[in-house]
Structure formats: structure tokens, C-alpha cells
Amino acid sequence: MEISFQDITYTYSTGTPFEHRALQNIHVQFNQGSYVAVIGKTGSGKSTLVQLLAGLLLPTSGVLQVGDTRIHSRSKKLGEYRKKVGVVFQYPEHQLFEETVAKDIAFGPKNLGCDVAEIEHRVVEAMSWVGLSPDLRDRSPFELSGGQMRRVAIAGVLAMRPDILILDEPTAGLDYLGQRDLLSILKRFHQHFGCTVVHVTHNMNEAAELAEQIVLMSDGKVISTGKPVEIFRNLPYLQVSGLDVPDVTKWIMSLNQNLSTPVSTEIYELSALADELIHRWRRGS
């Protein structure tokens, strides 16, 4: 399903002293099946944007078109739509509530009306996707470590096999291995199911590594969108938005200060940088 935000504005608490316009005239499109990263500093409107996409907030004005579904200020009955969208909120482990890991993961598929066999299949599959050992299925989620709880919460959303998977800062608070693991899970899940992924982050390394399209937000507006190279080309612009370039890019930039033929700053994976340096070294010797 193609996603299209058409002149969307969102105001919190309209008509009260707390009225706050969080999004202003948003125009942006995501292709079906693409991996989209939404970046921007705190308060720029990222979470509001994805809550609109999840059907949890309605636009104050403008239209959100997702496939055949039109969402606007007076939309009703978004229940069917929400079934197609899986959302992993910030700190999702705080939303676990069932007595066992398996029941928690089964909650989503059950709500979708899957039969018992299908639910079981999806629970087993989702646990394997996120790397939870099968013998944890009957444990209470509250006896698990923070990192494992995060995996249970994410498994619950993956088990719904959403057409659109939304993740709001999914790696926040995880340790380094936890972060790396989760990113590789997301990458494989996206490739396997071909769903559209919308991943909110303020980690530029994550955005560069995973995204096909980056949406850069500032002050309630989309100020730029495009491929990672198109976004990270402009360091001063990013810094004004309170952001930065990926670590690899920063490193290539300092390397380039003394190279007659600069290394391409379109490289975001360290292994690709190593390949490039080896290539140059071999060519020279």
C-alpha cells in the first residue's frame, strides 16, 4: 500500500490553553514495501507523524491516503485499518500484560481472528524471529531481562504480520549487542515479508544502514526526504536540525582531508569502507 500524507496538520488540545500545533502542512509519500527512517530532534513531530499513520490520531486537517483507505479529521471505524498496522511504541516492554510470554505474543493474532493452529504457528515463528528460546514460552514476561522483554513486545507485533510496521525509537535503552541484534532482525523481517517499515530514530547510523528513504523533520515540518546519501550530503543543514551524519561518514570525511581522490561518502557500512581501502591499497602496491 502506498502511503501519502497530503497537506496534513495536527494540533493537540485544540481550543484549550494547551493548544499545540505539532505537525504543519506535511506532504510526503512512502512507497509500498520500502524501509523508511524518520529522523529529527526531540519534539520535531516524529511520534505524532507515526501515530497518525497508525490510525491512533486523526489529522486536524489534510488527508492521509494509505492504499484505498482515506483518513481525515472525521474518519470513523478505523478498526479494520488498524489491523494492518503494527506499532512498536517507545519502551514497548512497559505494555506487556499477559501471564506468559506465549500468551502475550498470541494476543495480536487472536484479535485478528486467527484460528488456534495459526496462532500457535505465529507465536513459534515470532519467537524464533526475535531470537527468544522456545523454553521461555511459559515464563512470565516480567521475570525476563529488559532486553528479553523488549523482544517479547516486538514479537507480539511481528506475529500480526502487519502490512505496515511502525517502530518508535526501538533501540533506545538497549545495550550495544541488543541494538545490533534488533537491527538485524528488522532488516531480515522486512526483506522476508516485504512490509513497509517506518522506523523513528535519532541514531543516524541506524537510519543510514537500514533505510531506503529518510524523512527529516524539524519543527513539525518535513524539511527534506530522499535516499540516505541525499540527506547526509548536507552536514551543516543536518546540524542546524540538531542532527548529525553517521559515524562512518564522519570518519570518511576526516580521511578525505588528506586524500587526492576522496573516498565516497555514499558508503555507510564499515565492511564496504574496508573493501574500498583494501582496493586502493592493492592497486597501489
Ligand X SMILES: Nc1ncnc2c1ncn2[C@@H]1O[C@H](COP(=O)(O)OP(=O)(O)O)[C@@H](O)[C@H]1O
Residues found near ligand X in the complex (CB under 6 A): 12-13, 18, 20, 22, 40, 42-48
Q: How far is the CB of 218 from ligand X (least distance, A)?
A: 10
Largest CA distance in the chain: 71
Which of residues 13 and 285 has its CB atom nearest to ligand X in the complex?
13
Is 41 among the residues that bind another protein (CB under 8 A)?
Answer: yes
What is the CA angle 143-147-153, rounded to 5? 80
Picked from ligand X, Mg ion, another protein, none, the partner binding residue 285 (CB below 5 to 8 A depending on kind) is another protein
Q: How far is the CB of 278 from another protein (least distance, A)?
A: 5
Q: How far is the CB of 42 from ligand X (least distance, A)?
A: 4
Bridge partners of residue 200, in order along the sequence: 38, 168
| Helix (H/G/I), strand (E/B), else coil: 25 | strand
Bridge partners of residue 88, in order along the sequence: 167
Which residues 119-138 are close enough to bind another protein by CB under 8 A? Answer: none
Q: How far is the CB of 43 from another protein (least distance, A)?
A: 6
- Those residues whose C-beta lies under 8 Å from the C-beta of residue 12, and which sit 6 or more positions away, are 18, 19, 20, 21, 22, 48
Torsions phi, psi of 166, nearest 5? -110, 135
Instruction: Using CB under 8 A, pick the residue from 12, 98, 173, 233 that binds another protein.
Output: 173
Task: Note whether 128 and 51 are within 8 A (CB).
Answer: no
Which residue's C-alpha cell is 483518513? 71
- For binding to another protein (CB under 8 A), which residues are involved? 40-43, 145-147, 172-179, 202, 204, 239, 242-244, 247-248, 251, 254-255, 258-259, 270-271, 273-275, 277-278, 280-281, 283-285
